[in-house]
A and B are shown apart, each in its own frame.
Chain A
């Protein structure tokens, strides 16, 4: 379509001024944008209040969409369940028998654990979650990987709390609004999580790469002991996450560690638990400068 002839604004002074003012305001807009961008790159949580308010405002809509999303998925799963039902039933039954035996063994181990812990004077560290909420949305068009949960200050959610699904770690709370909160997902390229191999004490960092995989970086360099298929769990270092929550499975070995795939895909879970910070003292200690003494 051809542009209307507004640009050649006749001899009317008023029309000419209008066009000119439009250009000026557009230039000022770009300048304002550049200043805001510089400020928020320098201090990322400067405008967190505005984003929190905004995500609270759209929370009813995103929450409804999340209900519909999980609802349609389970409907689809129940339809798909009828397909090959017989053979799967037989396979499940034999698996169940083995699982019952393993469960009995696990109970015995648990009892022994209890006894040993009582002997040592340790108490159970399994914390109750602060809130259970739905993952209501994410920043799907941006390079950064953030998600939103439908619980905020009103439910007692605070910055730094761990977000987990029944399968494993999802991420960490980054900003809190009154009824919603923003989560830094593990796949974001700014996310670093201390992990260890589930089978032994090989410690590493799991860093997001920004393309859906995690980069496992070993702390002790030397011969790389990792093998594809290794499962990594949180180590509890840093104080944010409770130790022993599943994080990732190694898929590829590299020079200084490997590439790993997430165990808990947040898109496949409907409810997530928000857990309190595992060890607030350790978090405070990390954030305190070395010159400043802790405790006073």
Chain B
């Protein structure tokens, strides 16, 4: 008997027959991708001023805003601790700011349960701006106006990079939930 649609028994995550999600991938991909995001700025040499967006934070915001309910509200503690090891800010800044960012999103979400992407983008860029400004204030060096001016390009890049990061998170989410475990 000929089947009409060969993909009729599969969905976006693969075949539904005899296959299941892999728990290891489903649980580890969000955490690992945020940690990889924290490592990205380390590989680039920026001598003059901070040019690279805080990719770890962008990944975290992406997962939290694109897939709410996946990362727990306390995820800022371990992930921020990892970011602190490489970010160059004083130790503890990542833990504090990432925890506060997640708590802030939780408060915003209880206020506006149904949001559009534009609203999420606005939330993310406000949070990144607050993160960069407080990073300038609490960097351990004396905050000067010239180093504040140097934040400008980084702020613009980070704001513009949120939508690509949201798409990346959506891709990673499909990768995370692909049915690769064989049953029976």
Q: Do A and B interact?
A: yes
Measured CB to CB, the residues of A under 8 A from B are: 1-4, 6-7, 22-23, 25-30, 32-41, 44, 46-47, 50-51, 54-55, 58, 61-62, 65, 69, 135, 137-148, 185, 187-190, 209-213, 262, 265-267
- On whether the beta carbons of B44 and A140 are closer than 8 Å, the reply is yes
Tally of A-B Cβ pairs under 8 angstroms = 205
Distance A7 CA – B110 CA, assembled complex (angstroms): 9
Docked pose: A148 CA to B41 CA in angstroms: 12
CB-based nearest B residue for A259: B146
Name B148's closest neighbour in chain A (CB-CB): A210
Interface size on B, residues (CB 8 A): 64
Answer yes or no: B129 CB below 8 A from chain A CBs.
Answer: no
List 14 additional contacts besides A25-B74, A143-B141; criterion CB under 8 Å.
A3-B68, A26-B102, A28-B77, A33-B97, A36-B95, A39-B91, A44-B140, A46-B91, A62-B42, A137-B42, A144-B139, A185-B47, A189-B147, A209-B147
Near A by CB (< 8 A), chain B positions 23-38 give none
| Interchain CA distance A23-B142 in the complex, whole Å | 34
Within the assembled complex, what's the spacing in Å between the Cα atoms of A28 and B76? 11
Alpha-carbon gap, A50 to B113, bound state (A) = 40
The contact of B138 among A37, A65, A211, A212, by CB within 8 Å, is A37
The complex places the Cα of A258 from the Cα of B120 at a distance, in Å, of 45
Q: Would you give the shortest CB distance from A25 to chain B, in whole angstroms? A: 4
Q: List 17 A-B contacts (CB under 8 A).
A: A4-B68, A7-B110, A23-B73, A26-B73, A33-B98, A35-B92, A37-B90, A37-B91, A39-B91, A40-B90, A41-B140, A62-B42, A69-B45, A138-B41, A140-B51, A143-B136, A209-B146
Which residue, of A3, A40, A135, A140, has the highest number of chain B Cβ atoms within 10 A?
A140
Known pairs A144-B88, A190-B141, A210-B147; A137 contacts B43 (CB<8 A): yes
Contact with A along B57-101 (1 / 0, CB 8 A): 000000000111100111011001000111111111111111110
* A138 in contact with B46 (CB, 8 Å): yes
For A33, A35, A50, A145, the residue with the greatest tally of chain B CB atoms inside 10 Å of its CB is: A33
B90 proximity list for chain A (CB < 8 A): 37, 40-41, 44
